[in-house]
Structure 1
Amino acid sequence: MTGMNTEQAINSAVDRARQWSPFLSMILDRETALASALSDGQLDLTLSSATPDMPVPKRLRLERRAMALNVAIGDLAGILDLTAVTGALTRFADYALDTAIRTAIDERTPGAEPVGFTAIALGKQGSGELNYSSDIDPILLFDPLTLPRKPREEPEQAAVRIGKRVVELLQARDGDGYVLRVDLRLRPSPEITPIVLPVEAAIGYYEAQALPWERAAFIRARAAAGDIAFGQGFLDAIRPFVWRRTLDFGAIREIRGISARIRDHHLQGQAFGAGYDLKRGRGGIREAEFFAQIHQLIHGGRDPTVRAPATRDALARLAEAGWIGGDEARALTDGYTLLRTIEHRVQMIDDRQTHALPTGDALDRVAKLHGVEDAGALLALLAPRVAATGRIYDALDDTVRPAFSHDPVTLEADLAAAGFDAPEPARQRIEAWRAGAYPALRSPAAREALEAVLPTLVTAFATAPVPQSALLRLDALLERLPSAINIFRLLEARPGLATLLAAILSHAPTLADDLGRRPTLLDGLIDATAFAPVGDIAALETAMRADDAGSDYQARLDHVRRVVGELRFALGAQIVAGASDPLHVAAGYARVAEAAIGVLAGATIAEFAKAHGTVPGSELVILALGRMGGAMLTHASDLDLIYLFTGDFAAESDGPKPLGATLYYNRLAQRVTAALSVATAAGPLYQIDTRLRPSGGQGPLVVTLDSFARYQRDDAWTWEHMALTRARPVFGSTGARDAVAAIIRGVLEGERPVRDVVADARSMRAEMAAHKAPAGPLDAKLLPGGLVDLEFAVHVVQLVNRTGFDPNLGAAIDRLVEQGLAPPALRAAHDVLTRLLVTLRLVAPDATPPGHATEALIARAIGVADWAAVIATLGSTRQEVRGFWMQATGEQDG
């Protein structure tokens, strides 16, 4: 519209339509009122010659004809952009399909509500991007229980008859044209199934039998017509089939294969120029769509923000989330927009569903309809966009890889050349895999995937710190897998991940064991976000709630276990990769645990309330102690928890099965403990230790805040007050948490029995040393001068002086240092010991010296140059802590 006002732009568009489009010219001649409005510069998408009293088929055909003209002129005039054009076309298709369904039902059962019959729109109708002259590709479903039908008619018969009538209403042609072409072949097994499917059968198919391309198709699925709520229920039921948290690179390969087959089948349309296929050609519309869908299939199971049906929306969201480059997204979007626009021009000529540029004079006609001089100018406009799209899409397909020989001598030589110091055992392992040594390797698909990934594996493992050890742990992992195909495809697609896997298997037996139990943990490491600090507790809770579990309690337990497992594994991998300070990882472990407590305690309370209601004026509060209270966990930490409840212990719950408050909360706390600890199909979660509660294992699991306060003020022993120095409320309302914190603060600052804290601490430490020896020479926790000595000494100084309290041990030391009650070097000692503990829990859980390669990892983790410096730093740190212990307690080394 540059240099033109709206009226001039519309008139120019009408002139071009009359001159170069027989189809639009015909409509202008027939729709005289419409043509008159356009000549006056008025564009009204609702205007048509149809009237409400017309028979439905005739009304829909006239409405479609008017819509086709209005949208085309708005497009050619530059008034409607691609989004507005495809949106208008899609809205009409939805309306026409819905009208056809309602009409078909009403004709058979007059007055019946159109329930139990729905149309799921796929393809461009589903994504709101319908073509100017396009089929629609719905899947028609019915509910046998609610579908209106004639007396003594089977639901299946009624559904098929309704479906046939819907298709007839839309597809039948007469002098006014037609409404829509309908293609029902995207339904499950179309060669053998009826045109309308019972919903349960469809759900069963998609859960158990569907092909990978059908997953991609459902990225753009939408309940578009008929009983929308019923259709949405179906889509909700199959969402886990579409958006899988477990990556399926086999599916990605199949989508790429579809693209390759399209290129082969439409070979004549691949070369750019006259005759080029705008949809299926190299660099065409389909490749932009597939590029978006491949990345959505990879990331959409874990990142719901990228589940956008429309191609350009999907590209934008993928770029915003960092999954693809911004330049890639812009280039693909620009190319897609232009090619779709020109595709519409081609279809406007004769209202034909074609996607290919014509040849000869016909291509000049398309160019002039678009508003450029000739075919050459049109091709010059398209060429850079097509080239950019093709280049970006081609970069996805890196399937040409070297292969490894099956000849033993050659294979061993290849392994030696790759860097294996001991190629013979490596060759023997590979030969065993190729022979199908384990069930996961016996299928042809598994062996194909193995051959594809072997070059990546060999390169990664040959450069691993301990190649043979890593290879043996991979062998043990493969032995336990039910299927190896997906992990091989994942490593093939992400070679950098194979290098990280080799490092994990070389250094971290704890993580290797986790991976053996749950290989899908590797999926979480596919992008750089796995090496960023985990989010705050609110963000983590959102991630633990954002899934397909809905209100299903068991599904929620499983989902939280999956998320926690992935996050803990990723945090451990950060230490192996040297990407994070172990102190930051320890804090991350604690945030993950606190979020899990929040989500699972909340879900358990809601589930428990279904039977027992709630106790009015009362709530559950969870208090964390120990490393959880201090917000610094290791990979293997238990959670030390105390359960409390507010309000009157004599109250009663208000549910169908009421309980007294004490019994109510004790049963509820047992459920919360189970939710946090019991292994489900998704694996275990945390070990829960409740022995720090009032009266220990002899006392009730849950007590009131008043009972807790009385016990701590009157009866608790020194060791219990020492534990209280690291207590922190992690669940409950703000008011309840504040009330518990006030009780703790009062007790620690003096509202407690007078006891000989120093003597008690010395006695307890001696007893602990007698019954729990250090696990090995690197035991940063139990060695003399280790973390236990540090904790005891800090707590003695805090309780004796009634100051310096903070659940986080490092922060508490800082407070004591500020007040002159601890030496400044003590904080550095705390940090060294904590880094060492967190790292060793992963790489040397027995606290014995690891192999030489892992020694370097430990040195890096605690911030020193080499293993000698590790030993020296540990020695000097222990001396510093031991000196503080003796200063705090008056004890002398004997």
Structure 2
Amino acid sequence: MLNFSGIPSELHAPAQRYWEQFEAAILSQTLSHPWDLLPPTISVDTFFQQLTRAFVASEFIAKTCAQRPAYLLELIESGALFEAQTDAHLDAFTAAVNACNTDAELDACLRRQRQMAMIRIIWRDLNRIEGMREVTAELSRFADRVIQTTAECHYRSLEKMYGTPIGRESGIAQPFMVLGMGKLGAGELNISSDIDLIFTFPEGGETNHASRAISNQEFFIKLGQRLIKSLDTVTADGFVFRVDMRLRPHGQSGALAMSFVGMEDYYQTQGREWERYAMIKARTVAMAGGEQQAEARQLLGKMLQPFTYRQYIDFSAIESLREMKGLIARQVQRKGMNLDVKLGEGGIREVEFVVQVFQLIRGGRDARLRKRKVPVLLPFLEQENYLPPGAGSALLEAYIFLRNTEHAIQGYQDKQTQSLPIDPLGQLRLAWVMGFDTWDSFFETLSRYRHCVNAEFKAVIAAPDEEDSIDQKALTFWMGLWEGSLQGEDAIHALEAQDIEGAAALVKNLADLRESRAVLSMQASGRTRLEAFIPRLLHMLVQEALQGKLPLTVAETFARIEPLIEAIARRSAYLVLLVENPTAIHQLVMLCAASPWIADQLAQYPALLDELLTPESLYAPPDKMSLRDELRRDVLRLSWDDLEGHMEALRYFRSAHALRVAASEVTGALPLMKVSDYLTFIAEVVLEHVLQLSWEHLVERHGRPRRSDGSVDATPDFVIVGYGKLGGIELGHGSDLDLVFIHNTDSNLSTDGERAIDNITFYTRLGQRIIHVLNTYTPSGKLYEVDMRLRPSGNSGLLVSSLAAFEKYQANEAWTWEHQALVRARVVAGDERLAEQFEQVRERILTRERDLAALRVDVRDMRRKMREQLGSESKSKNSALNTAKTPVLFNLKQDAGGIVDIEFMVQYAALAWASKAPGIIRYTDNIRILGSLEEAGLLDAQSVAHLIAAYKAYRSTGHRLALQRQEAVLEGDNHFLTERAQVTALWQQLIDHD
């Protein structure tokens, strides 16, 4: 009945022999023939094609069916052999296990069910009814259910003997928790895999038995021992799963089960890098007994996450993975395992390493990298440019081929091996199963895939010296200079011989750094990393200087970088990041040479070094929607109640993008207007998130504000209004945020929570919370400096105003300068409906008819006071008291003809003429308001062009000075003479005339 069509003749005999034994067993046991049990959807021909393939490719299936034909007949009759795994299949397994009354019955049942499950899964795999992903997922789900059901049986049994384990602190029943590691944790179990497990439980304490109480740990150790025995012991019926417990804390010498406290202490104090690697795939696969299982599962995950994933970009993980791979490679060579498709060169493990390198390095920042399945992550890594175009898909194709090969090897005899067969018959069988006519054609394809994998693996994880293009002779020279073996006059002469300016200063800088406390206190491993970095840095500095690309000398640029080196000396993972990435060293050199502000930012926040790795994103500003998406991804891992986590994430987000803006500006990749747009978008996205974060906090504590119609505020009935540079979309580096908070709530009602407060208090606290998040210093600094003085009545006014109160104040009490400020006001975050209402109020106030003479006087007098207090004349007068000769200064912002003169003229024009031309106040930025004034025929084109050109020139210079850590004050009387004259002339024409 077997159909050997298309199957090599050498493979026929064993399959035929097992088929004959199967038929004889059916006859002797008076069982039904399989074709009599087939469902109507499966033809006899199809069945025998599948059967023949299974018997030829898997001695395990053929032999098991010959010895226990009832297994196959039951799978056929139930239809399970021809269906994808369902909950019903797993529930039937659970019911069979729960019907057992003794441990012996349980163990026998488990083995019987396991044999049937493996027949079904291998059958469907070999016949390609299911792909690799489905096969591994079904195996993993089956293993999960086996562990879960068996653990529950033993928990109940031990509970009868010793009572229920009760937590010492909580007083509640404690669950037994099983962490699945490796391929089980990832949900990618292979055909004949060990299962790597760790047993844990939340709390210590004792069981509640009246006379036989034992400690919780003893209870769970006994439970773990019983679970292992049920799964791992080989009996006449075989085994269920081989269990490996070596990944638990302290390995084989550690306790079989450990409480959360013990686990946390171990991983915080003794956890090793390879354990981080293992923990990436950790998953709670089973929980038995106890209460509050969901809470326990969540707590365990939260506890293990900081050990597995660092908050910073952790390139030191590469070193650990290299060491691990080197150890495996040496084992492979020693044991002659070069043909092992898992551990050999270009094997499955190398694909996993490629994925896990990025998980370990960046998983702390990017929660999307914490997925466990390799086939899911490979396309993502390519999509996000962690891997080059095409690499992710090529690795995935190779991975699937390698895993199918592994399954074909293991499925033959249900043995845990990944070694390619060396006998001709075995080679022919494997090649045929994989769809090839000959072993040579199969091996050629396999070798091609392995070569692809190994090439990508080396590209990701290879030691830098393997690919280092730096001349080793040059590195030796720079190492001698750094170590001090070349010093003093000899060092200076050697540098001068290479045409290096400032040689003496560089030698001194290196000596100072070498003797600094930060370097002297470094551990040996960190010192090694520093010794790898400094020569590469010096080489890069000199190369760029000799090519004329540095605006400073080598010594001056090194001096700017030196504070960063001291800052990262004790966090040497950053040194690894730089050594591993010559591109990052290049960007570091160029940006620090261009701007001391950037150098200071990097020294203050070394985590920003990660931004130097990808010049494509460093110099390519995202739009506002992309910024929102990026921030959402950054906080994806955080719950709303994790205020500290959100504050740190927000500060990194803001600092990282501020660095990108500065890098784009100093290199000329971004024009002035785009710089301001980018900085403003950053602030707006941050404010949107801070508003939501503060709202979630208050809602959790007090409920939602009620409305007069009986409903509640689903979202904040609240807006943040940006004034000044934020409102005008003109933020600069380090700009404050001028904010006003407005609500539209019913003041007579309160929130709907258990700790209800009135609506006004709720929104006042919301404003306070926003300021707290923005203003508080954390290890990453302050998010933004906030100025609330522009709110109604200034510092003496309410922190949060109702829209009605705001309009009343603006209409009846506000000074002219407050209406000037309103010209540049706009809603930057909050409720859209309230934002529209605010804009209507703004328009009503700004379009009022005004006495132009009185308006000119108010604007002129305010401007005169500002010049007297803030302009360079007042400073010059004070300086003249102490010096005989005072340099001529021009304050870009405050002096006559400067930025504020232009802004005041724009504001005057808006207030003076908006009543007859409302379109001029549609925008809040000076450039577009000036354009609107020209369109409305209120200012001539030449005047507008002069003002816009001067305004851009001043602001551009101001930005450049800020990035050089200099004040916006120019020395000398020859700066912007034409622009100042034009602005001053227009000032006199518009405002300063009688």
Q: Does 1:388 align with 2:469?
A: no
| Alpha carbons 2:891, 2:970 under 8 Å: kept | no
Name the structure 2 match of 1:603: 693
Structure 1 regions of 5+ residues with no counterpart?
A: 851-867
Q: Which of these residues, 266, 275, 283, is aligned with residue 332 of structure 2?
A: 266
The reply on whether 1:740 has 2:838 as its aligned counterpart is yes
**Residue of 670, 683, 686 corresponding to 2:781:** 683
Paired positions, count: 870
Give the counterpart letter for 1:206 in structure 2: Y
**Partner Cα separation in structure 1 for residue 853 and residue 786 of structure 2:** 30
Partner SS state of residue 731, structure 1: strand
Aligned partners of 1:534 and 1:871: how far apart in 2? 38
3-state SS, counterpart of residue 326 of structure 1: coil
- Structure 1 range deviating more: 660-669 or 410-419: 410-419
Match of 2:14 in 1: none
> Which of residues 920, 928, 933 in structure 2 aligns to 1:816?
933
Q: Give 1:206 deviation, angstroms.
A: 3.2
Residue number in structure 1 paired with 2:61: 24
The equivalent position to 1:327 in structure 2, one of 367, 379, 390, is 390
Alignment of 1:408 with 2:502, yes or no, is no
Deviations 1:571-604 (CA, angstroms, capped at 9, x unpaired): 2222233332232222122122122222223322
* Secondary structure in structure 2 of the residue aligned to 1:408: coil
**1:296 offset after TM fit, Å?**
2.4
Contact 2:342 2:418 in 1 (8 A): yes
> C-alpha separation between the residues in 2 aligned to 1:456 and 1:169?
57
Q: Which of the residues 115, 120, 135 maps onto 1:70? A: 120
Aligned to 2:572: 485
Between the aligned partners of 2:43 and 2:459, the Cα distance in structure 1 is 43
Given the alignment, which residue of 541, 552, 555 partners 1:461?
Answer: 541
User: Structure 1 stretch 42-51 or stretch 357-366: which is displaced more?
Assistant: 42-51
Q: Is the 8 A contact 2:849 2:912 kept in 1?
A: no
Q: Offset of 1:510 from its aligned partner?
A: 2.3
Matches within 5 A, 1:507-526: 507-526=594-613
Give, in whole Å, the separation in 2 of the partners of 1:722 and 1:360. 90
Residue aligned with 2:82, SS: coil
Give the 5 Å matches for 1:752-791: 756-774=854-872, 779-791=891-903
Q: Is contact 1:269-1:277 (8 Å) kept? A: no
Q: Which of 805, 820, 823 is the aligned partner of 1:722?
A: 820
| Equivalent residue for 1:86, pick from 115, 120, 136 | 136
User: CA 1:605–1:83 in 2, change beyond 3 Å: closer, same or farther?
Assistant: closer
Are 2:987 and 1:885 equivalent residues in the alignment?
yes
**Aligned AA (1:580):** L
Match of 2:443 among 369, 372, 379: 379
Of residues 35, 43, 63 in structure 1, which corresponds to 2:82?
A: 43
Deviation at 1:610, TM superposition (A): 5.0
Describe the superposition over 1:148-176 as per-residue Cα deviations: whole angstroms up to 9, x where unpaired.
Answer: 77552211111111111111111012121
Alpha-carbon distance in structure 1 between the residues aligned to 2:697 and 2:449:
55
Q: C-alpha distance in 1, partners of 2:746/2:121?
A: 69
Residue 626 of structure 1 corresponds to 724
- Distance in 2 (CA, whole Å) between partners of 1:263 and 1:7 is 49
Shift in alpha-carbon separation, 1:451–1:373, aligned structure 2, 3 A: same
Query: Aligned partners of 1:251, 1:815: CA distance in 2, in Å?
Result: 56
Distance of 2:701 and 2:371 partners within structure 1? 39
Task: Give the match for residue 175 of structure 2.
Answer: 116
Alpha-carbon deviation of 1:753? Answer: 8.2
CA separation of 1:692/1:886 partners in 2, compared to 1, >3 Å: closer, same or farther?
A: same
Give the 3-state SS of the residue equivalent to 1:257 in structure 2: helix
2:368 is aligned, of 305, 312, 322, to: 305
Tell me how far 1:63 sits from its aligned partner: 1.6
Q: Name the CA distance, whole Å, in 1 between partners of 2:993 and 2:583.
A: 53
- Residues 586-601 of structure 1: matches in 2 within 5 Å? 586-601=676-691
Task: Check whether the contact 1:245–1:302 (CA below 8 A) recurs between aligned residues.
Answer: yes
Deviation for aligned residue 1:434: 4.4
Q: Does 1:839 align with 2:902?
A: no
The residue aligned with 1:135 is 194
Contact persistence 2:721–2:827 (CA under 8 A) = yes
Among 282, 286, 308, the residue aligned to 2:349: 286
1:505–1:605 CA distance, 2 compared to 1 (3 A): same
5+ long unaligned stretches in structure 2: 8-41, 166-172, 545-549, 708-712, 876-887
**Judging changes above 3 Å, is the alpha-carbon distance between structure 1 residues 208 and 621 closer, same or farther for their aligned structure 2 residues?**
farther
Separation of aligned partners in 2, 1:365 and 1:635 = 68
Question: How far apart, CA to CA, are the structure 2 residues paired with 1:729 and 1:586?
Answer: 17
Q: 1:254 pairs with 295, 306, 320, which one?
A: 320
Partner of 1:194: 255
Deviating more after overlay: 361-370 vs 130-139: 361-370
Q: Following the alignment from structure 2 to structure 1, what is the Cα–Cα distance between the partners of residues 851 and 176?
A: 73
Of 595, 615, 618, the residue aligned with 1:530 is 618
Are 1:317 and 2:380 matched, yes or no? yes
Q: What is residue 856 of structure 1 aligned with on the other side?
A: none
Deviation readout 1:273-292 (Å, 9 max, x if unpaired):
xx611111111111111011
Q: Report what 1:860 is aligned to.
A: none
Displacement, 1:6? 8.5
Moved more, 770-779 or 617-626: 770-779
* SS across alignment from 2:390: helix
The one-letter amino acid of 2:52's match is D
1 CA distance for matches of 2:659 and 2:199? 43
Tell me the residue number matched to 2:155.
105
| Equivalent-residue separation in structure 1 for 2:538 and 2:409 (angstroms) | 51
> Are the aligned partners of 2:72 and 2:116 in contact in 1 as well (CA < 8 Å)?
no
Larger Rg: 2
Matches within 5 A, 1:690-709: 690-709=788-807
Deviation per CA, 1:258-302, whole angstroms, max 9, x where unpaired? 11221122115788xxx6111111111111110111122233333
Give the Cα separation in 2 of the matches to 1:754 and 1:658. Answer: 50
Shift of 1:711: 1.3
Structure 2 residue matching 1:640: 3-state secondary structure: strand
SS of equivalent to 1:266: helix
1: CA distance, partners of 2:675 / 2:924: 18
SS in 2 for 1:781: coil
State how far apart, in whole Å, the 1-side matches of 2:457 and 2:721 are: 53
Whole-Å Cα distance in 2 between the matches of residues 15 and 640 of structure 1? 78
The answer for the alignment partner of 1:162 in structure 2 is: 223
| Aligned residues: CA RMSD | 3.3
Q: Distance in 1 between matches of 2:438 and 2:871?
A: 88
2:405 counterpart residue number? 342
Name the CA shift for 1:57/1:553 in 2 (closer, same or farther; >3 Å). same
C-alpha contact (below 8 Å) 2:154/2:226 kept by paired residues = yes
1:398 to partner: Cα distance: 3.7
Q: What code does the residue aligned with 2:60 have?
A: F
Q: Hey, what does 2:650 align to over in structure 1? A: 560
Letter in 2 for 1:845: Q
Contact in 2 for aligned 1:540/1:595 (Cα 8 Å): no
Give the alignment of 1:427-446 within 5 angstroms: 427-435=507-515, 437-439=517-519, 442-446=522-526
Match of 2:24 in 1: none
Contact 1:312/1:333 (8 A) holds in 2: yes
Q: How far has the Cα of 1:732 moved from its partner?
A: 2.8
Answer yes or no: is 1:237 the counterpart of 2:339.
no
Q: Which of 128, 134, 153 lines up with 2:214 in the alignment?
A: 153
Is contact 1:779–1:837 with CA below 8 Å preserved after alignment? no
* Contact map agreement 2:124 2:130 (CA 8 A) in 1: yes
What SS class does the counterpart of residue 228 from structure 2 fall into? helix
**Offset at residue 408 of structure 1 (A):** 0.4
Is 2:850–2:911's contact at 8 Å kept on the other side of the alignment?
Answer: no
Q: CA deviation at 1:140?
A: 1.3
Alpha carbons 2:151, 2:223 under 8 Å: kept: yes
